Amino acid sequence: MRAPVLHTPLKPIAPLPAWARQGPISELRLGALLAHVQPAACGGAPSGVWRQRLAMRAALAHLRLEGRSEDEPTLRDHWYLRREGDDPGPAGNILKAWRSELTIDPERLAQLLALPREGVADLLDRADEAGSTRGTPYDPAIALAFQAQAKGRDWRGFSMWLADRVMARRLGWPGAVSILALNLPRNAFRVSAYEDFYAAALPALIHGTLEAVVLYDDLVRRGEKLALGAQKMRSKDTRATIYKLLSEDAVMAEAGAQTSDRAARRMLTGLADLGLIRELSGRASFRLWGI
Amino acid sequence: MAGSTKSANAAPALLDRELEDLPQALRWREWMRRIEAVLFSASAPMTRETLAQLVGREAIVDLLIEDIAADISDRPYEIRRTGGGWQMVTRKPYADIIAALHARPETKRALTQGESLILAAVAYMQPITRAAISQMTGREISRETMARLHQAGLIARGPRSPDPGAPYTYVTTQAFLEHYGFESLRDLPDLEALMDAGLLVSPDLPGVDLGVAAMPIAPEKG
């Protein structure tokens, strides 16, 4: 008898009610969406790849605010073609910040984001405080983002990062889900009144959460297809590879516990030929696969 | 009792930080002196944490530094904020004077124009391979040159490039920022703005004599 290809069954989330998918901008709608995304945010497959794809999108938005021009494939290369001890460069470091755990050393974070250490530490402290207050999850998140971005241009990306962290804390999620940055327009940072910032951040959170829900649904579907199709694969590391594909944005053909890198490459190419995964870099060498 | 000179990193257990027996003004003065002394003797930037170990718990390092800066405003040296913290450096106009005294440029050999050009390429385009730098600067960059910059700590190894052979890329380091007095890479002059202002033809850019001027900005086509 063969072990199932998945370590744990995929965790789909319930379909969204129509009024949450489309409707007026309101706190109620955001609340409904956040409640909806809760199971995805609380772990299980495919929330690893989901979190990382969202972090990628947020990092790209952050890079654009910084006036940098890296695109997704480039950033993915910077990240995955590293070896132990390699510095991923300024853009890769920003991605690293977005992918980081909920608790992060201020010194480390300040380095990644190229911001002064004291300001970063201070805002992280305030995020800790805001994360443990009572009340809605988004109010303290937006308020802290507003305070952070008021420190100057360089703090804009970090302010969005902070908001997501405060929300995750408030909602008791094990890791941050990158939401605010996905849809926050650049001109949200040109306002001076908190009300105006809030008015820009609220729809951004709604659309960001919606985007996250849609992405998660899509990943669950792909994951199901992959698990079904992979049952036919006879490679020894099938389970490990599927697990990796469901927890990582991209996977390289590397030697596994029981197989060589060639076998891994054969398997990934096979999965891609079956249309179960995609090659993300568009290259014929140093390929990166993902669901 | 006066503490002996200790390295700033040592546990300050024997150091009287609070100076309770001194009146407020004198305490402040003493704290300023401590920080100034440490900055004066340090060869690398000192972080806030390090400096905070020398002074009372409620003392604010930033304010102390500000006061010191005001005190030495007419001196040929200043306290500069760099990536990791604060550092005491000579003011720019006096760099040449010092260089003139040591007939040899410095113990640390100054960067050649070519090396500066490479650093500029890495700073703007990182992570970037040696081949890509060669292409950008229009001259073949040798392995040895990169190794020298690496040894000087100005560049570090980045991720591998997906080009054939998976060559290493290079990125700039904290030491690079310190060398040019930048707080972060955002302080690099904005190339587009410089071009718009017609400054890119001028050989010496204010603040950064990186040789940026000679650098082709982007491949003309293709």
What is the SS3 string spanning A137-151? CHHHHHHHHHHHHCC
**What percent of chain A clears pLDDT 70, i.e. is strictly above it?**
99
Structure-block tokens of residue B64: 């102390």
> Helices A156-171 & A27-41, crossing angle to 10 degrees?
70
Q: What's the order of all strands across the beta sheet hosting B155-160? A: B128-129, B168-172, B155-160
What ipTM score was computed for the predicted complex, to two decimals?
A: 0.84
Q: Does A77 touch chain B (CB under 8 A)?
A: yes
Query: In this structure, which long-range contacts are made by residues A117-120, counting pairs with CB atoms below 8 Å and at least 24 apart in sequence?
Result: A117/B47, A117/B48, A118/B48, A119/A151, A119/A155, A120/A158
Omega cis (within 30) before B76: no
Residue B148 has pLDDT above 70, yes or no: yes
Q: Look at A114 and B127 and tell me if their CB atoms are within 8 Å.
A: no
Tell whether omega for the bond before B206 is within 30 degrees of 0, i.e. cis. Answer: no
Instruction: Give mean pLDDT, residues B11-15.
Output: 63
Question: Å from A212 to nearest chain B CA?
Answer: 29
Q: Using an 8 Å Cβ cutoff, are A40 and A216 in contact?
A: yes
Q: Identify the pLDDT of residue B92.
A: 83
Q: What is the DSSP string of B20-86?
A: TTS-HHHHHHHHHHHHHHHHHH-SS-B-HHHHHTTS-TT--HHHHHHHHHHHTTTSSEEEEEETTEE
| Cβ–Cβ under 8 Å, residues A272 and A289 | yes
pLDDT of the residue at B97? 80
Check: pTM over 0.80? Answer yes or no.
Answer: no
Residue-level pLDDT at B95: 80
Q: What pLDDT is stored for residue A8 in this prediction?
A: 76
- B134 in A contact zone (CB under 8 Å): no
The dihedral built from the CA positions of residue A249, A254, A257 and A258, taken in this order, carries a sign that is: positive
- Answer whether B71's CB lies under 8 Å from B28's CB: no
In a mutational test of the A interface, the residue from B48, B81, B169, B174 whose CB has the highest number of chain A CBs within 10 Å is B169
User: For tokens 């959170």, what's the residue?
Assistant: A205
Confidence at residue B7, expressed as pLDDT on a 0 to 100 scale:
44
- On average, the pLDDT of chain B sits at 79
Q: How far is B161 from chain A (nearest CA, A)?
A: 7
Q: Which two tokens stand for residue A9?
A: 């069954």
**SS3 category, B102:** coil
Instruction: Please name every residue paired with B87 in a beta bridge, in sequence order, or none if there are none.
Output: B80
Interchain contact B171–A (C-beta under 8 A): yes
Q: What count of Cα atoms within 13 Å lies in the side-chain half-sphere of residue A28?
A: 6
Q: Hey, which residues 85-124 in chain A have their CB within 8 Å of chain B?
A: 85-90, 92, 114-118
Scan for tokens 């990306």, then name that residue: A157
**What's the pLDDT at B109?**
64
Question: Which pLDDT belongs to residue B191?
Answer: 74
Would you give the DSSP letter of residue B89?
A: E
Q: Please give the single-letter amino acid code of residue A196.
A: D
With a cut of 60, say whether residue B111 has pLDDT above it: yes
Quote the pLDDT of residue A235: 75
pLDDT one-digit tens code per residue, B19-78: 888 888 888 999 999 999 999 988 888 988 889 988 888 888 989 999 999 999 888 899
3-class secondary structure per residue, chain A: CCCCCCCCCCCCCCCCCHHHHCCCCCHHHHHHHHHHHHHHHCCCCCHHHHHHHHHHHHHHHHHHHCCCCCCHHHHHHHHHCCCCCCCCHHHHHHHHHHHCCCCCCHHHHHHHHCCCHHHHHHHHHHHHHHHCCCCCCHHHHHHHHHHHHCCCHHHHHHHHHHHHHHHHHHHCCCCCCCCHHHHCCHHHHHCCCHHHHHHHHHHHHHHHHHHHHHHHHHHHHHHHHHHHHHCCCCCCCHHHHHHHHHHCCCECCCCCCCCCHHHHHHHHHHHHHCCCCEECCCCCCCCCEEC
Nearest CA to A73 out of A56, A87, A86, A90 is that of A56
- Put simply, the answer to whether B164 touches A114 (Cβ < 8 Å) is no
Query: At B179, which helix (H) or strand (E)?
Result: helix B174-180
Name the B residues in 95-124 with CB < 8 Å from any A CB: none
Give me the percent of chain B exceeding a pLDDT of 90.
Answer: 33
Phi, psi of B82 (to 5 degrees): -125, 180
CA distance A20 to A36: 10
Contact B158 A114 (CB under 8 A): no
- Would you state the pLDDT for residue A96? 96
Between chain A and chain B, the number of residue pairs with CB atoms below 8 A apart is 64
More confident residue, A157 or B10: A157
pLDDT at B206 over 70: no
Residue type, A198: Y
B191 neighbors A122 (Cβ within 8 angstroms): no
pLDDT tens digit string along A239-267?
Answer: 888 999 999 999 998 887 778 888 889 99
**Banded pLDDT at B201 (limits 50, 70, 90):** low
Nearest chain B Cα distance for residue A186, angstroms: 18
Write out residues in chain A with pLDDT < 70, as ranges.
Answer: 1-3
